[in-house]
A and B are shown apart, each in its own frame.
Chain A
Amino acid sequence: MSLRTKILWLGLVAFLGWATAAFYSLRLNPEVLFYRGLSEIQQIWADRLRATTATQFILVGGSSALFSVMPERAWEKDRVPLVNFGLAAGTGPQVMVLRGLAQARAGDTLLVGIEPGLLTEDGAPAGLGIQYAFAMGHPKWICDPRLDIPAMSWGSAILALRPGAYHMVTLGGKLLTRRPLYRYGIQDVSQGGWIRTAKRDFDDNPPGHGPSLSAWSTAFFQSLVRQAGEKGIRLFYVLPWAYCPPGQAEKFRQENAAFLLQVSNFMPVLQDDRLGAIQEKGLFADSSWHLNLEGSRLRTDVLVAQLLGGRMWEKADLEKFAGRE
């Protein structure tokens, strides 16, 4: 093989390899397909509400949002126009929030319910977030987010349209054991975009997170507050609920209070005296962040009461809980 042929052949292999990986990621990846389908259902609900009410509450976050808040219940019981735009944690804060911002109009309220762990780490989008944004037809959420945070270059984003070993190995395991290709199915999604699962297996490990907002999240919040202000959108932070073994709840609450204290520098934080630590395991489904039907009912009712009551945390109270008095 001549050198020229060899280089051409290797270039062709690289291109075809990338092209098939990108096709798989956008069109065949069961995880991306599920979140696309879920997003369509959530969008239909949001549009239906928009036709009925002038303003709405849009909840964005990871799977803790997706598995906890029932928009139908909030509407049918209390006439609160709530939209659940929860996604997978792997999509990252940038994609979650930009999707919510794209839906929001002046007068709406964006409820930022992103898990603390995602905000105490570098939140730059990766893997699933990039694939989801491209699959949804919104690559600009990644490459031109119009927020004062570093945008990923188009080249890097396009090169990231690949499945990765973790995905391929776990997919192989599912194929071998004839299990569903993705843990959840679109049939599990309610018309409001909330999801429930019958699965009940998770470790008792206490959920934890880093001590402070990452530099990325700080810049992200600063920019988000400015942009929301310009568009006339209100911002509230909503702390997700997580299962915490009884012995560790106090420590977790203290961590959460310290975290909320930092978030409150950017936006009001809805007051919830549980401070995110729930000790009843019976309210949870298949992870310490995923509520079951009973838990979701309770969570939705509490959230609706918070929204109607409009009570926010005072810094002094958070300082007390964080042990900084």
Chain B
Amino acid sequence: MNFADLRFWQILLAGFLVWMALRKLAAFVRIPWEADRGMLAALSLCLLFAVGWKTLMIFLYVALLTYFSLSLARFWRVPERPLLWVLVPLQVAPLLYYKYGDFLGNGILHLQRPELTQLVIPVGISFYTFQKISFVIDTLHFRKPIPPFLDYLNYVSFFPQIVAGPIERRENLLPQVSRFQLHFNPANVGAGLPWVILGFFFKCGLADNLAEAFPRVEAGNAYLIWYANLLFGFRIYFDFAGYSFIALGLARSLGVSLTLNFCSPYCAANMADFWHRWHVSLSQWFRDYLYIPLGGGKGRRWWGNLLVVFVISGIWHGAGWNFILWGFLHGLFLIAYRVSPTSLPAGIGRTLTLVAALFSWLFFYETDFQLLMLKAASLFSPGAYGFAEMAGLGNLLLKPEGLLSLFLVGCSTLVVGLEAYSISRQGEAYGVFFRPWMLGLMILFTVWMAPGKTSAFIYFAF
């Protein structure tokens, strides 16, 4: 279910046409039409099936297990804590197997099982598993009613957000899909369309080109490593935010509001602020279901809680030591921010946050651990900042790929600058992009500049 793939839109359009035709037919034979929620679930499952039958089966396993276990437990009055101890591991089992099987089995336990290296991570498994865990916890902890099955199915399978979030809580999405009705509302389309355009501009216009321009960099040249970090930092933001905005726009066109998953993270004033702006729904998930239950920011072990949360966040992003280190680093950054005695001037705070975020991206994209360590060491080595190294960067920038990357860095910086301007003028990060002439410009840029091949969404792998 890749929004940048024409096939997705073709299936979606065909699905809506069938839907509309059935509604017309029902009106023609004068049968009251109450099947919109059923059609929404069917369409979502069809789109998931189009990705692969295995993807659908794994999704259904987690979805049905969650719903029927909860229903039976409530019927038999099973206490909350034992149920959680049994149900959550069962929910997480497919995620553990597909995403971490190779890392745990071959990487840590040295089982030498070649079949584990062949495992393909089912699309969206990290996102929908976390959403279903949150459903179980919210339902049990707050003694919420178990919704009708169809509403539950729509909540967990809502097609715009199933494969890459946002990870929605039941109190936000469930009531909306429970009263869902398909009708063409121009106001909804008007609210959703700009997000879809902005999403495509971010994803196809910027992120896909940044993926093509990303250089292969060896250790030893700090300038090149910083430059690669900068390119990757822009790429991952535009890639994931782009996807999230298309999801948001699609949902809004259908009259459903999703969480704004990104809010100009590179304009963050400090590291805590960064995590309020980057992958917002995941940050909230970790805060509510892990950080606060661990004790949160109170007590003497607050720093330990932070480290645990961010290391687990790193593991969520990928199975590898580099991701664990990435999470650990962010934990350290937040601890440093909290213990710093004075608040820094805004400009310095923003710069430091940006530098820290860019530094950490090295741990995200470099999966060869030895090379990662060498590159990280280069960034702290004065010898890696010599004239010869600067000339190396110059040589890269003079090549066609380098020119492309420079152009894209310019465009990306302009976009982040416009976000900052929008925040200062309108109080929201993306308002300036929704002016009609800006929308037109973004369409033209995307049509002319998007590369021939679309890269997969980075977060599909998570």
Cβ of B10 < 8 Å from any Cβ of A? yes
Q: Does B301 contact A (CB under 8 A)?
A: no
Contact B443 A166 (CB under 8 A): no
Instruction: Determine the distance from Cα of A219 to Cα of B408 in the docked complex, in whole angstroms.
Output: 36
Main secondary structure of the interface of B (DSSP, over half): helix
Asked whether A127 lies within 8 Å of B451 as measured between CB atoms, the reply is yes
Quick one: which of B55-78 are within 8 Å of A by CB? none
Taken residue by residue from 1 to 22, chain A's Cβ proximity to chain B (1 for < 8 Å, 0 otherwise) reads as 1011011011001100110010
Which residues A286-319 have CB closer than 8 A to chain B? none
Among B348-356, B359-367, B399-407, the stretch in contact with A: B399-407
Cβ of B7 under 8 Å from chain A: yes
Nearest CB of chain A from residue B331's CB, rounded to whole Å: 37
CB contacts (< 8 Å) of A9 on chain B: these are 436, 440
Contact between A6 and B436, CB atoms less than 8 A apart: yes
Q: Which of B197, B450, B451 contacts A10 (CB 8 A)?
A: B197
Indicate if the CB atoms of B447 and A3 lie closer than 8 Å. Answer: no
The residues of B that contact A14 with a CB separation of less than 8 Å are 443, 447
Q: Which residues of B contact A6 (CB under 8 A)?
A: 190, 436
Asked whether any CB of chain A lies closer than 8 Å to the CB of B432, the reply is no
B374 sits at the interface (CB 8 A): no
Q: C-beta contact mask, A148-171 vs B, less than 8 Å → 1, else 0?
A: 000001011001101111101110
B193, B401, B403, B449: the one contacting A7 at CB < 8 Å is B193
**In the complex, chain A residues whose CB is within 8 Å of the CB of B7:** 153
A169→B127 CA distance, assembly (Å): 37
Residue A88 interfacial (CB < 8 Å): no
Residues on B with C-beta less than 8 A from A126 are 452-453
Is B439 interfacial (CB-CB < 8 Å)? yes
Collect the chain B residues with CB atoms within 8 Å of residue A3's CB: 186-187, 189-190
Determine the chain B residues whose CB is within 8 A of the CB of A18 once the complex forms.
447
CB proximity of B439 to chain A, nearest CB, Å:
6
Q: Does B444 contact A (CB under 8 A)?
A: yes
Interface of chain A, helix or strand or loop or mixed?
Answer: helix
**Complex Cα gap A13–B407 (Å):** 23
Partner of A21, one of B10, B189, B447: B447
Cβ contacts under 8 Å, B187 to chain A: 3
Q: Which of A98-138 contact B (CB under 8 A)?
A: 126-128, 130
* In the complex, per-residue mask of B8-19: 1 if CB is within 8 Å of any chain A CB, else 0: 001000000000
* A9 (CB) vs chain B CBs: closest residue: B436
A164 touching B449 in the complex, CB below 8 Å, given contacts A17-B443, A17-B444: yes
With known contacts A14-B447, A127-B451, A153–B400 Cβ distance under 8 A: no
Cβ of A24 to closest chain B Cβ, rounded Å: 8
Our pick among A21, A128, A153, A164 for the contact of B6 (Cβ within 8 Å) is: A153
User: Which chain A residues lie closer than 8 Å to B407 at the CB level?
Assistant: 165, 169
B187 — nearest CB in chain A belongs to which residue? A3
With a 10 A CB-CB cut-off, give which of B404, B408, B451, B452 has the most chain A CB atoms: B452
Taking A7-B189, A127-B453 as contacts, is the C-beta distance between A166 and B400 under 8 angstroms?
yes
Cα–Cα, bound, A26→B443 (Å): 21
CB contacts (< 8 Å) of B436 on chain A: these are 1, 6, 9-10
Q: Please tell me if B85 contacts chain A, counting CB pairs below 8 Å.
A: no
User: Is A173 an interface residue, CB under 8 A from the partner?
Assistant: yes
By a CB distance below 8 angstroms, the chain A residues around B212 are 165-166
Establish whether residues A164 and B447, one from each chain, have CB atoms under 8 Å apart when the complex forms: no
Please give the distance in Å from A81's CB to the nearest CB on chain B: 35
For B28, the chain A residues whose CB sits under 8 A away are none
Q: Measured between C-beta atoms, what is the minimum distance from B396 to chain A in Å? A: 12
| B209 CB–A CB distance under 8 Å | yes
B192 to chain A, nearest CB (A): 11
Nearest chain B CB to A252's CB is how many angstroms away?
19
In the complex, residue of chain B having the shortest beta-carbon distance to the beta carbon of A11: B443
Is B443 touching A160 in the complex (CB atoms < 8 A)?
no
Closest to B191 in A: A3
Do residues B447 and A17 form an inter-chain contact, with CB atoms below 8 A?
yes
Which residues in B have their C-beta under 8 angstroms from that of A4? 186
Distance, CA A132 to CA B408, complexed state (A): 26
Kindly state the separation between the CA atoms of A156 and B204 in the bound complex, as whole angstroms: 14
B209 pairs with A165, CB closer than 8 A: yes
What are 10 sample pairs from A and B whose C-beta atoms fall under 8 A apart? A4-B186, A10-B193, A10-B197, A10-B436, A14-B447, A126-B453, A162-B448, A164-B452, A168-B449, A170-B403
B interface residue numbers (CB < 8 A to A): 6-7, 10, 186-187, 189-190, 193, 197, 209, 212-213, 400-401, 403-404, 407-408, 436, 439-440, 443-444, 447-453
Known A-B contacts: A3-B190, A21-B448. Give 8 more (CB < 8 A).
A6-B436, A10-B436, A155-B6, A162-B448, A165-B404, A168-B449, A170-B403, A173-B403
